[in-house]
Structure 1
Amino acid sequence: MLRFLVQRLATIPLVAIGVITILFVIFKSVPGDEATLAAGATSTQAEIEAMRVRLGLDRPLLIQYAGHIWGLLHLDLGYSSTFRGNPLPAILERIPATLLLMSSAIAVTVAIGIPAGLVAGANQNRWPDYAISGGVVALLAIPNFWLGMVLIAVLSVQMRWLPSFGAAGAASLVIPTIALSARLIALVARTTRGMVVEEMRKDYVRTARAKGLRWKAVLSRHVLRNVLIPIVTVIGLQAGYLLGGSVVVERLFAWPGLGDLMLTGVSVRDYTLIQGATLFFVVGFLVINLAVDILYRFINPRLRHG
């Protein structure tokens, strides 16, 4: 297990450097003068030239790349025109809100998606299966931003039950969580149902039933354990979607997370801020993949000794 962790942790910096390089090339290829954007639209030519020297844009591209890597190693993301300096403190301040929203969406997904899939699979071709499968199709077809606007209109404007924006307590987390987790709930429920239907046809299930075990015991003790790996895979892969999907949801609900900050950078063409936020999203996705691989080994002991 320790060897596996060391190997996986060693790949994270390599992937991060690859992403940093790709982002550096992309932003250097974007039309527009970085010095003019950083100095501001009302700046004079002398101020623009001074900013060009300050940002090192007068140096060769390879020197700029080396300086960028050196700055990242010292936690300096570069000059952000939005914050007039290193945007790292602002990014770190926004990360907890994004993690809270993502964790809440995953918790709701596990609490609803897995039981729904179990019920649908155990009642194949019966009314619970049809009802849950219909709900899954509906949730997969609904965009999260549209669902969010409908929830705001119903639960906030008409019913006045929940706040429609901001992060002013647990109540303000409800609607963004529903909007962000709806698609993932449907995917987990569909995956769980398919795996349960497949497992229910196997010999060990018939043997357990022949011994007198109830369906609930068979599902919880045997079937669920065997379908957990594909379920964890779906949740782990879609957690990256939650990070990306949070960009739209956070702006819709004025949630003070990293996605909202990234869109602010896009609106003002603050490439340093966009690059920094993107890098944290990528690192977060890599950490999530590592956590999924670790969960595999707890679910299936054979992987720990493989």
Structure 2
Amino acid sequence: MSATTLDTPPTPTDAPARRPDRAGALRGVARRLATALFVLLCTATVAFFLVRLSGDPVKILLPPDATAEQEQVLRHSLGLDQPLFSQYLDYLRGLVRLDFGDSLVYGQPVSEILADRLPATVELAAAALAVTLVVAIPAGILAAMRRGRGADHTVMTGVLLGQSAPPFWVGILLILVFAVWLRILPASGYGTLANLILPAVTLAVYSVAVVARLLRSSLIDVLSSDHIRSARAKGFGPLQLVLRHGVRNASLPVVTVIGLEVGNLLGGAILTERVFSWPGVGQLTIEAISNRDFPLVQATVLFFAATFVVVNLLVDLSYSFLDPRVRTSR
């Protein structure tokens, strides 16, 4: 009887046991995509209506002595004399075709202007992210391993200063020290590694503080768990425990914050690019707001929002690869 029972093949109901999990995962991805699209639609709508509260761009585009007839002609050529709701519908139709319109100031398609400025912003954000990872991860590990000691106090003091200092103030301070007093780095410019150092460090200061603090607290929690104590009893050294067992188990909240910081690095580049005259999307956004360039402001705001949404979506989907328990629960 026992042999017959063991040799009995599995019933058909046992075979497709994982299909509901896959279907649930696909539904979860579809739900997140729908939420992302809804957020982008809301952002585009808010940007469209808020930017029109800043005033009439015709007053800036024409000289002060322009006549009312000239203003009316320009307003008609730009489509600003149409009802607001009609302008909004035209804007949404353009978004469906990925057509952001033409800049009121430059007279070029907004997509081309963004494409020209985007590489500079991506370069700055990537350099700041590299600085963040290179400094924050060793600092967080060191603080966790030396908890309550001098190294821990030093790292946490730097974290406090990094989270308290505004980026524009940090940028001005670095310019005074390294460009004015020491004269070893340029205060502005674009195109060389020397031009990149100060803006990247300025942009990374806050992110370094956030990531280092979170990694320290996550590692402290992990290092006090039972499996770490068992590994320590087996003879694993402190550094081996942290690198082989601690960092991976503490990586889930850290990856979440790093993903959010990518969006913060791109969004925070607005002030940093202004301080260092960096020719990126942030500098372009400030210029567009000053000139009341409606299509350009709408496109840059939507770009920053899309960056946050896409990064958060990728971080959310990466959970299942970092923690199998998340994959099972979903």
TM-score computed with the length of structure 1 as normaliser: 0.92
- Is 1:203 the counterpart of 2:223 in the alignment? no
Change (3 A) 1:39 1:9: farther
Secondary structure of the residue aligned to 2:254 is: helix
**Partner of residue 162, structure 2:** 139
**Partner of residue 183, structure 2:** 160
- Report the CA distance between 1:191 and its aligned residue: 0.8
- Report the CA distance between 1:166 and its aligned residue: 1.4
Ranges in structure 1 where 5+ consecutive residues have no aligned partner: none
Greater RCO structure (CA 8 Å; 6+ sep): 2
The equivalences for 1:111-150 within 5 A come to 111-150=134-173
- Is 1:23 the counterpart of 2:47 in the alignment? yes
**Partner of residue 12, structure 2:** none
Change (3 A) 1:128 1:51: same
Change (3 A) 1:31 1:138: closer
**2: CA distance between counterparts of 1:143 and 1:134?**
16
Secondary structure of the residue aligned to 1:161 is: coil
**Partner of residue 271, structure 2:** 248
Q: What value does the CA root-mean-square deviation take over the aligned residues? A: 2.0
- Is 1:95 the counterpart of 2:118 in the alignment? yes
**Partner of residue 91, structure 2:** 68
Aligned length: 305
- Report the CA distance between 1:79 and its aligned residue: 4.2
**1: CA distance between counterparts of 2:89 and 2:263?**
29
* Kept in 2: contact 1:113–1:186 (CA 8 A): yes
Could you report, residue by residue, the CA deviation over 1:142-201 in whole angstroms, capped at 9, with x for unpaired residues?
222111112112222232322221112122111111101011101111111111111221
Change (3 A) 1:31 1:151: closer
**1: CA distance between counterparts of 2:80 and 2:286?**
25
**Partner of residue 297, structure 1:** 320
* Kept in 2: contact 1:37–1:81 (CA 8 A): no
Change (3 A) 1:37 1:180: same
Secondary structure of the residue aligned to 1:59 is: coil
- Report the CA distance between 1:238 and its aligned residue: 2.4
* Kept in 2: contact 1:79–1:86 (CA 8 A): yes
* Kept in 2: contact 1:55–1:79 (CA 8 A): no
The equivalences for 1:177-192 within 5 A come to 177-192=200-215
Q: Which has the larger radius of gyration?
A: 2
* Kept in 2: contact 1:77–1:276 (CA 8 A): yes
Change (3 A) 1:79 1:8: same
* Kept in 1: contact 2:57–2:291 (CA 8 A): no
**2: CA distance between counterparts of 1:54 and 1:76?**
18
Identity %: 37
Ranges in structure 2 where 5+ consecutive residues have no aligned partner: 1-21
**2: CA distance between counterparts of 1:257 and 1:283?**
17
**1: CA distance between counterparts of 2:83 and 2:180?**
56
Structure 2 letter corresponding to 1:26: L
TM-score computed with the length of structure 2 as normaliser: 0.85
**1: CA distance between counterparts of 2:64 and 2:326?**
58
